[in-house]
Structure 1
Amino acid sequence: MRAAVLEAHGEPLEIADIDRPTADPDGVVIETEACGICRSDWHAWQGDWGWLGLEAQPGQVLGHEPAGRVVEVGENVENVAEGDHVAVPFNLGDGSCPECRRGHSNTCENVMPLGFVEQAPGAFAEELHVPVADHNAVHLPDGVSSTDMAGLGCRFMTSFHALAHRADVGAGDWVAVHGCGGVGLSAVHIADALGANVVAVDLQEEKLEKAKSLGAVETVDASDTDDVPDAVKALAGGGTQVSVDALGIETTCQNSVLSLGNRGQHVQIGLTTQDEQGMVSLPTDAMVMQEIEFIGSLGMPPTRYDEIFRLVASGKLDPSAVVSETVGLDDVPEKLDAMTDYETVGIPVIDEF
């Protein structure tokens, strides 16, 4: 089968023929109908996250936002059948550790990050193996296309978990979103659906215009603003209740914290780059004096996907609105390269393999 394979960090992915996967007793194989191209794939391509033990190695098939149809089922699988239409979370859980049993499989003690480690080859491929399928394969509602749901496996559900579960977003609250890539635009759309007033912050006018179309009531062009936190505070009447760093660089993290009012909540979604390597300085005295909370948020437990599906069914959420374009597998190297200079808008999705 065809797949996009990491040859060397920073070098174009190779579109190669590799062996198709086979289902282990607890797993399934899906035919990949769509897969988002995410900035996390760019990080893997660059060789980032060695400080987390997640530096993708040569030979790794990348891709972690898939949806497709089940074509092979392991003998022990009970709840997934051939032909089922499923999505797959990027943080695969084992379904049995204490975290998984408590409903927090996004922080599974034996997590397998899809597309980042050898034991979990990714979805930039015609077919994909899903381990512990009864736990990790999420059935999609009738009438939902794989393309529309491809971004659900990472960026959209990551933003949903951050704002609906980790932060305390109420109707009428001000929420700032720093960085309007795919996860940031998803956060804008979700915060708007939760009744918040959203301030979107980015360096590019095209992304700010997209944020407006997804519900942002105010925008801040960071390329034309001397003091981003002051600008956000002026728009939000003195400071936001919630602020999100959706990029993961030192500047956006610090700006997010400094945009908050008293007892505000900073939510960290973006993971850092080689420049920060996981360490960012913070205005700790201001955080103490204002009683600011710093909240980390990773992925989303697949057992809670139904919350998103209900909001989609009601028309309050539309994950497809964040999908910017569909491309072929051969286009993946070019799209990853474009992310180096933040040239992509929204979520590009592979729908031809």
Structure 2
Amino acid sequence: MASADNRGVVYRGAGKVAVEDIAFPELALGNRKCEHGVILKVLTTNICGSDQHMVRGRTTAPEGLVLGHEITGEVIECGRDVEFVKQGDVVSVPFNVACGRCRNCRRGDTHICLNVNPARPGGAYGYVDMGGWVGGQAEYVMVPYADFQLLVFPDREQAMEKILDLTMLTDIFPTGFHGCLTAGVQPGSTVYIAGAGPVGLAAAASARLLGAACVIVGDMKPQRLEQARSFGCEPLDLRQDASMPELIESILGVPEVDAAVDAVGFEANCHGHNHAHEQPATVLNAAMEITQAGGRVGIPGLYVTEDPGASSEDAKHGNLSMKFGLGWAKAMSFHTGQTPAMRYQRQLMQAVLHGRVEIGKAVNATPISLEQAPKGYADFDSGVAKKFVIDPHGILNT
């Protein structure tokens, strides 16, 4: 395909993003042809809480990075070696870049692929320290290893009707589901979800999909708590001055849950009257307090190795004051790391297409135009109960 215009959302330093002209993608990896890749016309691309960590200046992200790892698009060009994905297919892109050939990918651990990032296992589009892949908050983007990575929607018309649900398959729905599954959520479970941002709400919807009896969602933003209530969860206002076991007991009648999910990550605040004070390990410590002995904690919330904006020297290097002895004494299990999104995408797609879950409604999917992205970042940072879906080509009439 001939060169064409492209615009994308670019990180320009702490607190700053801009929509700028960027290069039209090519089927290339450095100086060599990428014959296993495709070029997508981006149909939807979402703003993620992980993006916000970078935009707040809480990572070592370089200026000029094109953001965005939640990508749904239409294939407009295929490399020579792409056999099964076709031009015109509408596809979901798992946020993990993965080769499909290394030992980790072969066992399904696509979140720690060994071949897509020279710095460490695991790659992602438009993210710091994740291999330098160009992000998808843009009009067009290149996706490598297309036959392995892409989930093709079976019916284009049906996909477009449910696009605000299906756009969540790239990251937050699999991430929330993974958090619940690794926490041991099952039919009849009582579950505590820390955080009512989009990933927390996706985790709460996932817990209900898995058959949980009671899903408690803790947050400090009334709007977000009401969003959790809107699809059957028990909201828990963490601004209250009571211990976490007391707060849980006020809902369940007992001070513990069967499973807990940390959907907050390293920018966590204290609960109670000190709720404006940052304390990175507070969610993990609370989870250890309120989860049954022998229970599990799923940790899809992001933790980083370098946090230049942290309030303590230890936290700047990812060192947290965890009550690990408590976790050991209670024989608890912790599951960390990026989610292998591909592992869950097909099943969750089928749940959406067959009406088992309305994930777009649960997270309050809110379309915006590409030019509105900077305002979307600012609004998301203020704590609104919305999941912003960027619509670069106006297909949703934003």
**Could you say whether these structures have the same fold, taking a TM-score greater than 0.5 normalized by the shorter chain as the test?**
yes
Counterpart in 2 of 1:328?
A: 369
> 1:247: how far off?
0.6
Deviates more, 1:263-272 or 1:29-38: 263-272
- Is contact 2:183–2:260 with CA below 8 Å preserved after alignment? no
Q: Secondary structure at the match of 2:203?
A: helix
Which of 209, 221, 246 is 1:193 aligned to?
A: 209
Letter in 2 for 1:153: T
Measured in 2, the distance between the counterparts of 1:76 and 1:244 equals 41
In the aligned structure 2, how far is the partner of 1:294 from the partner of 1:234? 26
Contact 1:156 1:319 in 2 (8 A): yes
Q: Is the 8 A contact 2:169 2:348 kept in 1?
A: no
Find the aligned partners of 2:286 and 2:87 in 1 and give their Cα distance.
48
Match for residue 82 of structure 2?
A: 77
- CA deviations over 1:307-347 (Å, ceiling 9, x no partner): 11232234222222224311111111122223333x22131
Residue 228 of structure 1 and its aligned partner are, at CA, apart by 2.8
Q: Which residue of 1 is the match for residue 192 of structure 2? A: 176
Shift in CA distance, 190/87, structure 1 to aligned 2, threshold 3 Å: same
User: Match for residue 112 of structure 1?
Assistant: 123
Q: CA deviation at 1:123?
A: 1.0
Pair 1:219-2:235 in alignment? yes
Secondary structure (helix, strand or coil) at the match of 1:224 reads coil
* 2:228 partner amino acid: A
Shift of 1:212: 1.4
Q: Aligned in 2, Cα 1:258/1:101: closer, same or farther, shift over 3 Å?
A: same
1:64: Cα distance to partner? 0.9
Please state how far the C-alpha of 1:82 moved relative to its aligned partner: 0.4
The alpha-carbon deviation at position 288 of structure 1 amounts to 2.4
Sequence identity percentage? 30
Matched, 1:230 2:246: yes
- Separation (CA, whole Å) in 2 of partners of 1:261 and 1:304: 27
Residue pair 2:196, 2:219 contacting (<8 A) in 1 also: yes
Q: CA deviation at 1:95?
A: 1.1
- Secondary structure (helix, strand or coil) at the match of 1:308 reads helix
Q: Displacement, 1:207?
A: 0.9
Partner of 2:290: 259
1:52 corresponds in structure 2 to none
Letter in 1 for 2:284: C
Paired residue for 1:43, among 36, 50, 53? Answer: 53
CA distance in 1, matches of 2:302, 2:125: 16
Within the alignment, does 1:268 sit opposite 2:283 as a pair? no
Quote the residue 2:137 is aligned against: 124
Question: What one-letter code is carried by the residue in structure 1 that aligns with 2:225?
Answer: L
CA offsets, 1:88-133, max 9 Å, x none? 1111111111100111112212332111156411111100100111
Q: Contact 1:151 / 1:323 at 8 angstroms: preserved in 2?
A: no
Gap runs ≥5 in structure 1: 50-54
Cα distance between partner residues in 2 of 1:119 and 1:132:
16
Structure 2 equivalent of residue 350 of structure 1: 390
1:17 maps to which residue? 21
Q: TM-score, normalised by structure 1?
A: 0.91
Task: Name the CA distance, whole Å, in 1 between partners of 2:392 and 2:22.
Answer: 17
Distance apart, 1:261 and its partner CA: 1.8
1:265–1:294 contact (8 Å) kept in structure 2: yes
User: Which piece of structure 1 moves more, 126-135 or 296-305?
Assistant: 296-305
Residue 7 of structure 1, CA deviation: 2.2
Q: Deviation per CA, 1:206-256, whole angstroms, max 9, x where unpaired?
A: 11111112231x221001243234312443323111111101122222222
Structure 1 Cα separation of the partners of residues 287 and 221 of structure 2: 17
SS at match of 1:151: helix
Looking at structure 2, the residues matched to 126 and 219 of structure 1 have their Cα atoms a distance apart, in angstroms, of: 37
Which of these residues, 4, 10, 26, is aligned with residue 5 of structure 1? 10
Q: Which one of 226, 251, 255 corresponds to residue 209 of structure 1?
A: 226
- The equivalent residue for 1:280 is 320
CA distance in 1, matches of 2:250, 2:52: 34
CA 1:179 to 1:303, structure 2 compared with 1: closer, same or farther past 3 Å? closer
Provide the residue aligned with 2:273 in structure 1.
none
Q: Is the 8 A contact 1:156 1:183 kept in 2?
A: yes
Q: Which moved more, 1:73-82 or 1:226-235?
A: 226-235
* Displacement after TM superposition at 1:289 (Å): 2.5
1:340 corresponds, among 366, 372, 381, to 381
Task: Give the Å deviation of 1:74.
Answer: 0.5
**Structure 1 residues 124 and 68: CA distance shift in structure 2, 3 A:** same
Structure 2 residue aligned with 1:247, among 264, 279, 283?
264
Number of aligned residue pairs: 344
Q: Secondary structure at the match of 2:77?
A: strand
d(CA) in 2 for partners of 1:25, 1:283: 49
Instruction: Tell me the distance in 2 between the aligned counterparts of 1:34 and 1:160.
Output: 21
SS of the equivalent of 2:20 reads strand
For 1:324 and 1:313, the matched residues in 2 are separated by: 17
- Aligned residue for 2:147, secondary structure, equals helix
> Using the alignment, how far apart are the partners of 1:119 and 1:286 within structure 2?
39
Instruction: For residues 263-293 of structure 1, give each alpha carbon's deviation from its aligned partner in whole angstroms, at most 9, with x where no partner exists.
Output: 1211111113642343322222322222221
C-alpha spacing 1:100/1:118, structure 2 compared with 1 (3 Å): closer
**Aligned with 2:159: secondary structure?**
coil
Deviations 1:38-75 (A, max 9, x none): 111111223434xxxxx322221101111110001000
Structure of higher CA gyration radius: 2
In 1, Cα distance between equivalents of 2:215 and 2:337 = 19
